[in-house]
Amino acid sequence: MPDDKANPTADWTRIAADLAPVEVLDDPVTIKKRSRDFFWYSPILNDQLRRSFGDLVARPKTREELAHCLSVAHAHEVPVTLRGGGTGNYGQAVPVQGGLIVETTAMNRILEIGEGFVRVEAGALMADINAALKPHGWEMAMFPSTQDIATVGGFVAGGSAGIGSIANGPLRENGNIARLKVLSVEADPVEHVFDGDEALRIHHAWGLNGAITEVTLRTVPTRDWVGCMAGFDSYRAAYGAGHALASADDAVIARKLCSVVDTRIADYFPRLDAHVPKGRHLLVTLVPREHLDALRALVAGHGGTLHLAIDEGERQALKLPHVFEFAYNHTTLQVLKSDRSATYQQIGVPDASDAARVEAMRARLGDDVWSHHEFTRWGGLVYAADLPIIWFRDADRLAEINATYEADGFTVYDAHVNVIEGNHMQPDYRHLAWKKRLDPKGLLNPGKSLEWEKVRHLSADEIEALGPARTPA
Ligand SMILES: Cc1cc2nc3c(=O)[nH]c(=O)nc-3n(C[C@H](O)[C@H](O)[C@H](O)COP(=O)(O)OP(=O)(O)OC[C@H]3O[C@@H](n4cnc5c(N)ncnc54)[C@H](O)[C@@H]3O)c2cc1C
């Protein structure tokens, strides 16, 4: 047992008995598996976190069972880490101080589908939500590329943007999260409701300040989406086409994905060999069928060729992955499948329209950094983020790469730290004020907020008064 357990003398046999009738998983292999997420993308976090394990897993099926888990953890003063699909990238769901892992995947009911919204239990998988919405003519306004295995509660607590964000903004865009219901960690847990903007007090707090039970999200009318890949001779041309597509009028090309991938990364996509020629820098997108001609013209106007255009039926017949499995953080995964020495970083581009600056940065970075840009919109403005593949040498070289980006005004949202206040993430005292209210003993996901340790002695109102909100990556 590592010596960093928050409560090394806890009686886990007794805790398991007290958790009844909640399903408990106590075999060591399962506990180890449920203690991991995708932190291994980062060699730095892999060294730091691979020996951190919880003590017991509980799998509640209802809100009442979840409340019982929180009450038992409160009575025994053991840490609680909420867990959905465990696809987070920074060890968000790793119980670094041991304790109870509460996995929500059995709380997965879709409760209500209405005009422009869906109300679901926190453990519902997003692919299941999208499948349930489709016959009603709706789809999620955005979802991560991990939709098949990630929960909506984990996305709201740990994610930020995804497929759809180029049309509908990130999760934090006003209206995307309509309502969250959240349980406190007390002797008798209380359910609190956060509507509209108030939901940002819980969103992207890494499960530090309450257990999300129910999520209401904005939905948008579904369309006949066609997954497309276009090839270009140069990265600059592909990026230019990506920016033009990202900025296009929705009535002309209503894309819900807009990703640009360096040809050296695309060489790690063997599943595409029969469909996309090698040696091409790729633009990866999803457009409605009626906008395919407009996309073809845009691509040709930037010197490219549309190599692949398949709808959902054709994709299934060809047994190909979704095109979004070559975008967002799936791009990194495709490379890691072949070579574990790759890692990545998260970089904010200062001006998405400045292709020359992006190109100059690529030249400055060297051969161990391969670009991959995702375009999103927020408040009507187009943003670009670079999620490059980095061939990891050591921490010093990674720091040098970060410094190269920063020297030209690019922002590094460091993917290699396990605390919520990572590089360039200002502490969000609204999160911590609600932690004080909902988790007064500080049992939820301990060790993930450096700032909490500094302010936990203050009252919730004093913490709230401390200041600025963080802008999540
Ligand atoms: C290949 C790959 C691609 C990805 N693509 C994207 C992407 O496109 N967009 C994106 O934003 N992210 C992406 N991610 C990150 C991650 O998949 C998403 O954030 C995902 O939605 C997390 O859901 P999960 O159920 O796996 O959460 P988990 O990893 O289980 O948990 C994430 C965090 O949320 C907390 N949490 C979980 N459930 C609850 C709850 N009910 N109440 C309170 N806290 C809770 C956990 O404690 C943890 O801190 C990707 C990751 C990988 C590995």
Find out whether the beta carbon of 144 lies less than 6 Å from any atom of ligand 1. yes
- How many angstroms separate the CA atoms of 154 and 147, rounded? 11
Q: Which of the four pLDDT bands, split at 50, 70 and 90, describes residue 428?
A: confident
Distance 175 CA to ligand 1 centre (A): 20
Per 3-state DSSP, the chain is made up of helix, strand and coil in percentages (nearest 5) of 35, 25, 40
Residue with tokens 């919405």: 133
Q: Which amino acid is at 311?
A: D
Per-residue model confidence (pLDDT) at position 98: 97
Determine the pLDDT at residue 425.
67
φ, ψ dihedrals at 310, nearest 5° = -130, 135
Query: CATH 3.30.43.10: which residues of the chain?
Result: 12-103
The closest alpha carbon to 398, from 39, 45, 37, belongs to 45
Asked if pLDDT for residue 31 goes beyond 50, the answer is yes
Q: Is the CB of 285 under 6 A from ligand 1?
A: no
Fold of 12-103: 3.30.43
Q: What was the pLDDT predicted at 4? A: 84
Query: What mean pLDDT comes out for the span 20-27?
Result: 98
Residue 1, pLDDT score: 38
Q: Residue 472 above 70 pLDDT?
A: no
- Alpha carbons 325 and 333: distance in angstroms, whole number: 9
Which residue puts its alpha carbon closest to atom 6 of ligand 1?
144
> What is the rounded average pLDDT of the residues 170-179?
95
Question: How does strand 117-121 pair with strand 347-348?
Answer: unpaired
Percent of the chain with pLDDT over 90: 95
Whether 473 has a pLDDT exceeding 60, the answer reads: no
User: Which runs of consecutive H residues, i.e. helices, occur in 248-285?
Assistant: 263-266
Stretch(es) of the chain classified as CATH 3.40.462.10: 225-412
427 lines ligand 1 (CB under 6 A): no
Give the residue, 466 or 236, on which the prediction is more confident.
Answer: 236
pLDDT > 80? residue 250: yes
pLDDT in tens, 340-352: 999 999 999 999 9
Q: Given the DSSP bridges, would you call strands 80-83 and 100-103 parallel, antiparallel or unpaired?
A: parallel
**CA-88 nearest atom, ligand 1:** 29
Contact 326, 318 (CB under 8 A): no
Are the C-beta atoms of 147 and 130 separated by less than 8 Å? yes
Q: Dump pLDDT digits (tens) for 223-248.
A: 999 999 999 999 999 999 999 999 99
Atom of ligand 1 nearest to the CA of 171: 11
What's residue 189's pLDDT? 98
Mean pLDDT rounded to a whole number for the chain: 95
In 326-370, the DSSP E strands lie at 342-344, 347-348, 369-370
- For residue 423, name the pLDDT band (cuts at 50, 70, 90): low
Nearest CA to ligand 1 atom 35: 207
Q: For ligand 1, atom 28, which residue shows the shortest CA distance? A: 86
Gap from CA of 61 to ligand 1 centroid (Å): 20
Helix/strand/coil for 455? helix
Q: Strands of 100-103's sheet, edge to edge?
A: 23-25, 56-59, 100-103, 80-83
259 pLDDT band, cuts 50/70/90, is very high
Fold of the domain spanning 225-412: Vanillyl-alcohol Oxidase; Chain A, domain 3 (3.40.462)
**Tokens (6 digits) for 6:** 């928050």
Kindly report the CA angle at 37 between 32 and 40, in degrees rounded to 5?
A: 100
How many helices (H) and strands (E) are present in the chain, helices listed first?
17, 21
pLDDT at residue 110 greater than cutoff 80: yes
CA distances from residue 44 to 41, 358, 418 in whole angstroms, order as listed = 9, 27, 10
| 3-7, 37-41, 115-119: range with lowest mean pLDDT | 3-7
State the pTM of this model.
Answer: 0.96
C-alpha 292/C-alpha 145 separation (Å) is 22
Q: Are the beta carbons of 110 and 120 closer than 8 angstroms?
A: yes
- pLDDT 10s digits, 1-18: 345 888 899 999 999 999
Phi-psi label, residue 22: left if phi above 0, alpha if psi -120 to 50, beta otherwise: beta
On the 0-12 / 13-18 / 19+ scale of CB atoms within 10 A, 139 is buried
